């Protein structure tokens, strides 16, 4: 968008910057360090020009021959952008990604700011429909009466039309982008984003569990089992892991609103070390029937009972707009309460705890290689990936692999 709002000038200046970028796109076959040198020279970095190889000097000459200040300023801005974007691109796709980005900069630059603003206005108009609007009000009836006129005035400026979902492809864009670089990544299970600027690791795993529609006994028992070591109790994984210095924010969680269970840990010294610790703590935890009451309390903690009045009102308004009816929530809550009367409830939960936690803790059950619909995602530098991949191979078998993602894998290209 930034490039679409720039003015490329007119006449010779416009043609010159267009031709320069067109030729610069062809430089992607060079080595990363050589490209960095070229970009540095264009930005005036001391000593960069001496490192530009002969194969790229044609682009330096083209830069010097740009006819006026406008074209040169735009070329320098492109160099700054490409210098940053190189950090998002792995060597395996450097040539094609460089070519794509420079061509896209050129294409966007040649779109006039007036046309860009017109297209933005069309997007804005598509959003300003009553079907897209959500309004909630928390307050007294008197306040609602006084504010009602202003709210209606605001809504009157919207087009009276039903909500319409945007058309989009069902193609798995990130999987497709990964497959461009790694041909054997047909169905990746373990993936992560390389972040070379960090030292610690982040883990975000989730798997399908229950929704408000799942009120059968087995589904609810599994849901409560997931709460045994969730939360912030003294026995919880959150408290134990922080106490051991193996993560900052962390813990087991999940909600019937999202329909998933989860495990999250950030700022881990080493991903497998933290994961092993969590699994060991769960496996060696003593049997404690009192935790059945803890699990019930944790379940109701998600039902907004402890939230502020306004927050509960907003959440209920969102539920209604999303089609989640009060009677569904009520039925789910009542079913949870009814389980409290089950004799030996803790024993029922304890037997399900391992299988439930194994869905979000790789290696808890070595026989469980993957779970349909699960997501196993990490973030960190290469050393974290190497350690985690070694753990996966030792726990799940030699075929286990973690696929490295880079920011370029999350690009939504103009071809998508």
Which range marks the domain in which residue 217 is found?
Answer: 173-410
pLDDT tens digits, one per residue of 58-102 = 999 999 999 989 999 999 999 999 999 999 999 999 999 999 999
Say if residue 208 is in the same domain as residue 231: yes
Is residue 184 a part of any domain in this protein?
yes
Residues 283 and 388 in one domain: yes
Predicted TM-score (pTM) of the model is 0.87
Q: For residue 378, is it within any domain? A: yes
Looking at the structure, tell me whether residues 184 and 107 fall in a common domain: no
Q: What integer pLDDT is reported at residue 369 of this predicted model?
A: 86
pLDDT digits (tens, 9 = 90+) for 218-244: 999 999 999 999 999 999 999 999 999
Tell me the helices (H) and strands (E) count for the chain, helix number first.
16, 6
Please tell me the predicted confidence (pLDDT) of residue 344: 93
Q: Encode 389-401: b = buried (16+ Cβ within 10 Å), e = exposed.
A: bebbeebbeeebb
Q: In this structure, are 139 and 258 located in the same domain? A: no
What is the pLDDT averaged over residues 175-200? 92
Q: Could you tell me the CATH number of the domain that includes residue 403?
A: 3.30.830.10
Out of 22-31, 50-59, 84-93, 308-317, pick the least confident: 308-317
In a domain, 259, yes or no: yes
Burial grade of 140 (CB within 10 A; 0-12, 13-18, 19 or more): exposed
Measuring CA to CA, which residue among 8, 63, 23, 25 is closest to residue 41? 63
Give yes or no: residues 154 and 260 share one domain. no
Q: State whether 320 and 371 are in the same domain.
A: yes
Eight-class DSSP state of 111? S
Query: In sequence order, what are the beta bridge partners of 205?
Result: 263, 376
Between residues 306 and 284, which one has the greater pLDDT? Answer: 284
Q: Which of 46-55, 120-129, 255-264 has the lowest mean pLDDT?
A: 120-129
Q: Is pLDDT larger for residue 133 or for residue 403?
A: 403
Of the candidates 228, 168, 180, 176, which has an alpha carbon nearest to the alpha carbon of residue 356?
228
pLDDT band (50, 70, 90) for residue 386: very high
Same domain, 109 and 258: no
pLDDT tens-digit series, residues 333-384 = 999 999 999 999 999 999 999 999 999 999 999 999 889 999 999 999 999 9
Residue 285 DSSP label: P
pLDDT (0 to 100) of residue 415: 64
Please answer whether residues 219 and 259 qualify as being in contact, where contact means their C-beta atoms are separated by less than 8 angstroms: no
Strand order in the sheet with 375-380: 250-255, 260-268, 201-208, 375-380, 190-194, 402-405
pLDDT at 416 over 60: no
Mapping DSSP onto H, E and C, the string for 156-204 reads HCCECCCCCCCCCCCCCHHHHHHHHHCCCCCCCCEEEEECCCCCCEEEE
| Together in a domain, 73 and 144 | no
Residue 3 included in any domain? no
Q: Residue 281's closest CA among 342, 239, 320, 326?
A: 239
274 and 405 together in one domain: yes
399 in a structural domain: yes
Q: What is the pLDDT of residue 305?
A: 67
Query: Is 2 within the bounds of a domain?
Result: no
Cβ count near 244 (within 10 Å): 13
How would residue 303 be classed by pLDDT, with cut points 50, 70 and 90? Answer: low
Place of tokens 């461009």: 180
Helix/strand/coil percent split, the chain, to 5: 55, 10, 35
Shared domain for 207 and 352, answered yes or no, is yes
Task: Indicate if the pLDDT at residue 196 is higher than 90.
Answer: yes
Sign, CA torsion 283/228/342/207: negative
Q: Is residue 209 predicted with pLDDT exceeding 70?
A: yes
| Span 124-151, pLDDT tens digits | 888 899 888 888 888 889 998 899 889 9
Q: Return the pLDDT at 310.
A: 87
Q: How does DSSP assign 264-284, residue by residue?
A: EEEEES-HHHHHHHHHHHHHH
Tracing tokens 């290209």 back to the chain, one arrives at 413
Q: Is the pLDDT of residue 277 over 60?
A: yes
pLDDT category at 172 given cuts 50, 70, 90 is confident
Structure tokens, 284: 């060696």
Q: What is the pairing mode between strands 375-380 and 190-194?
A: parallel
Cα–chain center distance at 319: 23
Domains of the chain: total: 3
Relative to beta strand 201-208, strand 260-268 is antiparallel
- Structural domain includes residue 344: yes
397 and 319 assigned to the same domain = yes
3-state secondary structure of 370: coil
My answer on whether 382 and 294 are in the same domain is yes
Nearest partner of 190 among 271, 91, 253, judged by Cα: 271
Residue 274 and residue 289: Cα distance in Å, rounded?
Answer: 27
320 belongs to a structural domain: yes
């Amino acid at each position: 968008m930034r490039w679409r709002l720039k003015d490329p000038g007119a006449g010779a200046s416009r043609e010159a910057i267009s031709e320069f970028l067109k030729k610069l796109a062809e430089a992607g076959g060079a080595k990363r360090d050589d490209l960095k040198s070229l970009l540095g020279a264009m930005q005036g970095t001391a000593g960069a020009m001496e490192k530009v190889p002969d194969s790229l000097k044609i682009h330096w000459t083209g830069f010097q021959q740009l006819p006026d200040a406008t074209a040169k300023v735009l070329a320098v801005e492109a160099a700054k952008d490409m210098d940053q974007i190189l950090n998002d691109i792995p060597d395996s796709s450097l040539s094609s990604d460089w070519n794509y980005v420079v061509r896209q900069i050129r294409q966007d630059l040649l779109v006039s700011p007036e046309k860009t603003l017109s297209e933005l206005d069309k997007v804005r108009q598509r959003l300003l429909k009553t079907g897209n609007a959500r309004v909630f009000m928390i307050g007294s009836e008197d306040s609602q009466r006084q504010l009602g006129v202003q709210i209606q005035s605001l809504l009157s400026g919207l087009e009276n039309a039903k909500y319409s979902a945007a058309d989009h492809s069902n193609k798995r864009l990130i999987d497709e982008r990964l497959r461009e670089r790694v041909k054997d990544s047909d169905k990746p299970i373990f993936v992560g984003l390389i972040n070379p600027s960090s030292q610690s690791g982040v883990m975000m795993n989730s798997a399908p569990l229950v929704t408000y529609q799942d009120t059968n006994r087995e589904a609810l028992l599994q849901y409560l089992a997931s709460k045994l070591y969730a939360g912030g109790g003294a026995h919880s994984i959150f408290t134990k892991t922080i106490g051991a210095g193996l993560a900052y924010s962390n813990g087991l969680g999940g909600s019937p609103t999202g329909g998933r269970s989860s495990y999250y840990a950030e700022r881990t010294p080493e991903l497998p070390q933290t994961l092993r610790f969590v699994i060991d703590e769960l496996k060696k935890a003593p049997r404690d029937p009192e935790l059945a009451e803890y699990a019930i309390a944790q379940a109701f903690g998600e039902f907004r009972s402890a939230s502020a009045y306004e927050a509960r009102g907003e959440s209920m308004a969102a539920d209604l707009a999303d089609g989640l009816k009060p009677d569904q929530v009520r039925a789910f809550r009542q079913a949870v309460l009814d389980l409290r009367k089950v004799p030996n409830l803790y024993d029922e939960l304890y037997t399900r705890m391992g299988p439930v936690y194994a869905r979000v803790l790789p290696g808890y059950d070595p026989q469980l290689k993957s779970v349909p619909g699960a997501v196993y995602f990490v973030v960190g530098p290469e050393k974290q990936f190497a350690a985690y991949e070694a753990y996966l191979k030792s726990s799940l078998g030699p075929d286990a692999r973690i696929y490295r993602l880079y920011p370029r894998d999350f690009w939504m290209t103009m071809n998508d």
